[in-house]
Amino acid sequence: MNSFGRIFRISIYGESHAGELGVLIDGVPAGILLSEKDFELAIERRKPNQVGSTSRKEDDIPLIKSGVFNSYTTGAPILISFENKNIKSEDYNFNGFYRPGHSDFVANKKYKSFNDFRGSGHFSGRMTLALVAAGVVANKILPDIKISASVISVAGSKDFQTKIDEAEQNGDSLGAVVECRINNLPVGYGEPFFDSLESVLAHLIFSIPGAKAIEFGNGIFAGSAKGSEFNDVFINENGETKTNNSGGINAGISNGNEIVFRVYFRPSASISKAQETFNFETKKMGELKIQGRHDVCYALRTPVIVESVAAIVLADFKLILSSQKL
């Protein structure tokens, strides 16, 4: 559904071209200092300011409508909304075509044509603004934990700009890899099976549109490695290890070492390059050429989103652990 979390629980609402979108956050402890200014940096990082980003510009000013009084959280649910103003819904009439690789076809079938298709509706990457807002609040619960993500390759290359320029000239799009590192996380976050730290992180990572794969530590190497190569031997009584092939997680539980994972994002499905695909009105193959405002490499804007969803997961785990100590 549209909610996540057991104690730190978020519910997102809205669509890309609706009047607004936002997030309702429950379970936030009372007495945390919080104002609209706290959101500025994270929201700015998500905006399409890089080369190859969409030309759609929004103010993205957070409106805190409940759960905060005199600049402190009250313990009641926090509602944060954002207005949609720069809307061009006419770009989303594809005359019988569904965009290959996009949500159009499955959304239409699942919701029996009642879905709001404008700007991809509830499936839009714009909905990640709600995740970033929730991440800002989550980080308030995690003052000692450092979460940092960055793009490490675009279309398999470190030369981002050249790849983006080439794709833009050809009307194409590019995938990318984002690496996230989490430091100062204590031992004990996660459970052995269904709520393992990896599985819960992956659960929320895959709520980010375009995320197609995730690797923890050197997980891909694990499939061809020997135990003697992959095991992370201990070097002190604190559990610090010589290597970190497991990415800071053993048996689904944080082991006190740095958490490392990489997220693989697919190229944006909306491309201006002509594609030969089936037309569901004419019942024939035809040429689709998509117009409008779309990212050449959407993943360039995702590091702050990856950081945010990681913070949401860890905030929930922290509050769960705190409740177990009562």
Distances (CA, A) of 149 to 70, 103, 132, 187, 311: 33, 26, 13, 21, 12
257: Cα separation from own chain's centroid: 23
pLDDT in tens for each of the 326 residues of the chain?
789 999 999 999 988 777 889 999 999 999 999 999 999 999 999 987 666 555 556 789 999 999 999 999 999 999 999 998 865 656 667 788 888 888 888 888 888 888 777 766 677 888 899 999 999 999 999 999 999 999 999 999 999 999 999 999 999 999 999 999 999 999 999 999 999 999 999 999 999 999 999 999 999 999 999 999 999 999 999 999 999 999 999 999 999 999 999 999 999 988 889 999 999 999 999 999 887 767 899 999 999 999 999 999 999 999 999 998 75
Domains assigned to the chain:
3-324 (3.60.150.10)
Q: Residue 14's beta-bridge partner residues? A: 21
pTM of the model: 0.92
Q: What angle do CA 158, 47, 28 make, to 5 degrees?
A: 110
